[in-house]
Structure 1
Amino acid sequence: MSLLSSTPTNTRPRDVQVAEISTNTLVLRSRTWERLKFEVEYARQKGTTANSYLIQAERTALIDPPGESFTEIFLQELAKHLDLTQLNYIILNHVNPNRMATLKVLLAQAPQAKIVCSKPGANALKTTFPEWMSNIQSVREDTLDLGGEHQLQFITVPTPRWPDGLITYDAATQILYTDKFFGVHVCNDILLDENWKQLDEDRRYYFDCLHATQSKQVEAALEKLAPFKTKFYAPGHGPIVRYSLSRFTYDYRQWCQEQKTQELRVALLYASAYGNTAILAQAIAQGLIENGVSVESINCELTDSTEITRAVEASDGFIIGSPTLGGHAPTQIQTALGIILSTATKTKLAGVFGSYGWSGEAVDLIESKLLDASFRLGCETIRVRFSPTEFTLQQCQDAGAEFAQVLKQNKKFRVPRQVVTETHIDRTEQAVGRIAGSLCVITHQQDNSHSGILTSWVSQATFNPPGLMIAIAEDQNADLLIHPGNQFVLNILKEGRNLRRYFSSRSSTENSFAELGIKTANNGCLILNNALAYLECTVQQQMASGDRWLIYATVDNGEVLEPIGITAIQQRKSGSHY
């Protein structure tokens, strides 16, 4: 394998590394050492490569050109190795909207080239770019002869995240071009996986982010690939797989099996008009998976009602996500919600999320329907306007983690030795949930680092001196609040002003205050300017009780920030969660 060109890595610019990997076959690795996107799979921040492949036989084929981040430098490098007027085929193993900028420029310079992709991919391209109709060639389990024994065979591998997925096999070189399979997000000069053991952790993280929620479809894809005699996996990201071929396949099978053996299971149902809701779904799934919960991803736009029913019935809980289109949820989400309301038992934990451009009615509608039906929410409902940011993706992961913990608590409550039935438990929890409390944010600080806790478990305990009683969980940084002398500010929230979304995780951090107006209290903790009132408090006593710490604190100072306003009340449907 010979290296043809590469920019020195010590300067670390974005570049394109080119190498010959087999007969008539080049890889063009568009590289960045920075985090390329906000998606959770890039969170390890080790950079990435966008791998494209060029087969130059009697006819030429370019496989998977990169996204718009690399358009200019990629096409400059490609032109050094190919007269673009001689390009015959552009093969898209996945129709990625991010590739459209590159495709536009490429087709302008090579208008004779045919775009080869799966039928779902072709439909998406024709809808978005009708002027490309004559260039698009859809395939199923077809072959494409490039001459010189380069007989390409296409294998369809649809998944919820990539319904148009293809894998391409070249019989002449015995290379499988696997796109989203067997990849990893790392960037370096190493073309092959000779140091594959060092990649184990990154490979597993990539699988968990992209494939764990669709392990059923991944197993089906592995079965389709088994008959092919393969020397290389050529993925869309990371090094080319040669030395660990059998091991990597084995790992994928094992990781898929692990998803089946988890004790708790969540059905993650969504539709995604522009891809934003799907990104949120992946972040929520990552929070669940990291906390030992198996997730089955269901793209409702591509799944029939019987499959949705099966997934919900087999789950311990479900989370449903939707965009808002014309003030409503898409028809597929309305169908899924109808299935849930008519068939799912009320003991299943529920969650809601979604993205929107302007109004976001779909998320509110789904949430209200589930609450009216007496489902319990396992985490704060997530609403994201426009594209998600790194902060909102972290909120999604935190929500997934919180949902997993509530599931586990419910599981403990329902161990076999309990003599009450699930119906009894459900009714009891609903009754306890009718105890309402003021919605508050507790802010505290340590070593000049501020954090906040959302709670409604606060009540006045004494008149003289004025004192409060607060219940706080261990995973809410209880160690910072339970010792006599610890100080905090109790921010009492106002009805109709949605501050709670900034503190949806179990214990928020500095990021929670980034978009909020704040000032510092006398005790050094933060006051939320948009709160209804605040109280500066000092802890006097604490007591461990059940799964909470009970804290008694006296009030040192306080002020009503908005004389005209109503205290926000946490109305719960169940006593099993905040």
Structure 2
Amino acid sequence: MVATPVKTEKRLTIQTANLSDDITAIRSLDWDRDRFDIEFGLQNGTTYNSYLIRGEKIALVDTSHAKFRQLYIDTLTGLIDPTQIDYLIISHTEPDHSGLVQDILQLAPQITVVAAKVAIQFLEGFVHQPFKREIVKNGDRLDLGNGHVLEFINAPNLHWPDTIFSYDHGSGILFTCDAFGMHYCSDHLYDEDLKAIEEDYYFYYECLMAPNARSVLSAMKRMDTLGEINLVANGHGPLLKYNLNELLRRYRHWSTEQSKGEKTVAVFYVSDYGYSDRLSQAITKGITKTGVAVEMMDLKSADPQEVRELVGRSEGIILGMPPTQKEITTNLNTILAAIHDKQYIGMFESFGGDDEPIFPLQRKFIDNGLIPAFKPIRLSETPTEAVYQLCEESGTDLGQTLTQDKKVKQRKLQDTDLDKAIGRISGGLYLITAKKGEVSGAMIASWVTQASFDPPGFTVAVAKDRAIESLLHANDTFVLNILEEGNYQPLMKHFLKRFSPGEDRFAGVKTQSAVNGSPILSDALAYLECEVVSRMECSDHWLVYGKVTNGRVSNPEGLTAVHHRKVGNYY
């Protein structure tokens, strides 16, 4: 491997590496980026990966983010004269991968852009210059010569409606753009250290791919028809080589489990309009945390028959307000014609400047018997962290509503000896509080256990559908507030109530700020400030291991409140 780092003050570097004698990776390393896409936090930066394939003809697979413009162009021209490039393959048109398409075309107007039909339509909207194009669909091939025959795999919604994979039959390399990637920036080209990357790999899947689990399985089924896959050349993070089979297996397993949801919510958005895609992803992430299946569909590119079919089998519908354009109006009318009573409806503004009016449209749904899933999410400015958290909590609220009947049935089956025996495991009573940026959260916990002496640490089980879960990833900080026997009822009463999405959990509660920024409950017996070291998935919970960094007892004579249960199949 030949690596050529070029450093700048903003810690943007370029790495080039030979994957074979005639395939080169060009990786744009964004070391300090801490927010991405649906505004989920990044702990380890990210990369934007691009690839150069040299056959008798030459193809460039994807470009880079616009922030890398000069670095990327300098690196590319150092590798090849751009006028020698025959094809520019666009895996999808999201700006972090296609942000330099216009620059490449200005350097080399002879290039033929190869992409899905929808991608070509999107490119026409922001390239603003004529260009040669070749539209490809599933199974089409492009022969570059010298054994490099590229076969294209249709992979819509992973995580963009125009996504295609490209499989090189000569090398066995599969170029997948967003799929099978992760936001993880390091000098390591490949996935040598599975332990170091696996949490970021899952977190990326959970945020971007889980909402489209059925689409993941469809794409992987098409992958099964290809030849042997020796390497996955993704669009973000290290390439999959050393743990390839295991990491592909995990995607298949996660997607299979996610698709088993007994109920489905349809999420409609417009991928290239305003903040529609990001806001819809945040809502969708909240829904999937509850085990409800989600299918996302782009109103601009979806076939009306597919829209009608999806609406017909969905218990809930989420609609990002589309622009007032004719091609959108057709599918909007299709949704209105296909709805039926007792479905849930949730709506949000896309903040694109030409949104359909939200309240008259909501009234049409309600008049047809639909039930509001949450208050319409309205925007007056660019979405903030708090807005994205509101979207996620709104999705979680809808998912919990849809699964409530199932949970009630489970509770009725509480008279088995096993349930009664598990219920005899007692625990203390605690309140977890956390704050990250402008977003804060809290939850009552009883499954807390000391786990280490040096450094002092403990584990806490957090249900996957808890709003605070998104604030408890590696390197996040929080406070464990220990409640006092005989003095915990007011806090318990406050935090046991159901909070509306976006509602301030700490209104009316006396707090002070910890060193790590999280709220300390003034009426707690003691508190521990903690840093998340790791998380382990345990079915319907995350087991979070936290390292204690600070703490204090307010009443040395006080005892920890104890929680006793009769059965073990619910709290």
Aligned to 1:147: 145
Structure 2 counterparts to residues 229-308 of structure 1, below 5 A: 229-274=228-273, 276-308=275-307
Aligned to 2:170: 172
Distance of 1:78 and 1:450 partners within structure 2: 40
Cα shift readout 1:71-104 (whole Å, capped 9, x = no counterpart): 1211111122112222222111112345555122
Percentage identity across paired residues of the two chains: 32
C-alpha contact 1:93 1:179 (8 A) present in aligned 2: yes
Distance of 1:94 and 1:248 partners within structure 2: 22
The answer on 1:364 being equivalent to 2:363 is no
Cα shift readout 1:13-35 (whole Å, capped 9, x = no counterpart): 11111111112111111011223
Distance of 1:215 and 1:164 partners within structure 2: 16
Aligned to 1:76: 74
Aligned to 2:227: 228
The answer on 1:408 being equivalent to 2:403 is yes
**1:399 aligns with one of 394, 402, 417:** 394
Distance of 2:440 and 2:164 partners within structure 1: 46
Deviates most, 209-218 or 95-104: 95-104
Amino acid at match of 1:277: S
Distance of 2:133 and 2:71 partners within structure 1: 25
Report how far residue 214 of structure 1 moved: 1.8
Aligned to 1:158: 156
Amino acid at match of 2:22: N
C-alpha contact 2:64 2:99 (8 A) present in aligned 1: no
C-alpha contact 2:158 2:179 (8 A) present in aligned 1: no
The answer on 1:110 being equivalent to 2:118 is no
**1:384 aligns with one of 379, 382, 388:** 379
Note the residue ranges of structure 1 that are not aligned, 5 or more in a row.
418-444, 454-473, 489-502, 513-520, 526-578
Structure 2 counterparts to residues 466-545 of structure 1, below 5 A: 505=501, 507-508=503-504
Report how far residue 407 of structure 1 moved: 2.8
Go from structure 1 to structure 2 and tell me whether the alpha carbon gap of 1:272 and 1:365 turns closer, same or farther (over 3 Å shift): farther
Deviates most, 95-104 or 206-215: 95-104
SS state at 2:391 partner: helix
The answer on 1:29 being equivalent to 2:63 is no
Report how far residue 485 of structure 1 moved: 11
Cα shift readout 1:484-536 (whole Å, capped 9, x = no counterpart): 799x9xxxxxxxxxxxxxx95254269x9xxxxxxxx9x999xxxxxxxxxxx
**1:137 aligns with one of 134, 141, 149:** 134
SS state at 1:26 partner: strand
Cα shift readout 1:342-362 (whole Å, capped 9, x = no counterpart): xx232x333222213457553
Go from structure 1 to structure 2 and tell me whether the alpha carbon gap of 1:222 and 1:391 turns closer, same or farther (over 3 Å shift): same
Distance of 2:467 and 2:172 partners within structure 1: 52
Distance of 2:125 and 2:503 partners within structure 1: 44
Report how far residue 411 of structure 1 moved: 4.8
Amino acid at match of 2:177: D
Go from structure 1 to structure 2 and tell me whether the alpha carbon gap of 1:373 and 1:191 turns closer, same or farther (over 3 Å shift): same
Distance of 1:198 and 1:114 partners within structure 2: 39
Aligned to 2:338: 339
Aligned to 1:500: none
Report how far residue 299 of structure 1 moved: 2.6
Cα shift readout 1:291-332 (whole Å, capped 9, x = no counterpart): 332222233333344433443343333322223427997332
Go from structure 1 to structure 2 and tell me whether the alpha carbon gap of 1:292 and 1:12 turns closer, same or farther (over 3 Å shift): same
C-alpha contact 1:119 1:139 (8 A) present in aligned 2: yes
C-alpha contact 2:156 2:162 (8 A) present in aligned 1: yes
Deviates most, 232-241 or 390-399: 390-399
Cα shift readout 1:106-163 (whole Å, capped 9, x = no counterpart): 2222222222212222233235446323x22222333223232222222222237523
Aligned to 2:84: 86
Deviates most, 399-408 or 229-238: 399-408
SS state at 1:178 partner: strand
Deviates most, 76-85 or 319-328: 319-328
The answer on 1:197 being equivalent to 2:195 is yes
Cα shift readout 1:32-57 (whole Å, capped 9, x = no counterpart): 12236542374233211000011233
Instruction: Count residues in correspondence.
Output: 448
Amino acid at match of 1:299: D
Amino acid at match of 2:501: S
Distance of 1:282 and 1:73 partners within structure 2: 31
Report how far residue 5 of structure 1 moved: 0.6
Aligned to 2:2: 3
Distance of 2:60 and 2:114 partners within structure 1: 10
C-alpha contact 1:268 1:320 (8 A) present in aligned 2: yes
Distance of 2:212 and 2:411 partners within structure 1: 31
Structure 2 counterparts to residues 117-128 of structure 1, below 5 A: 117-128=115-126
Q: Which of the two has higher C-alpha Rg?
A: 1
Aligned to 1:95: 93
Aligned to 1:17: 15
Aligned to 1:553: none
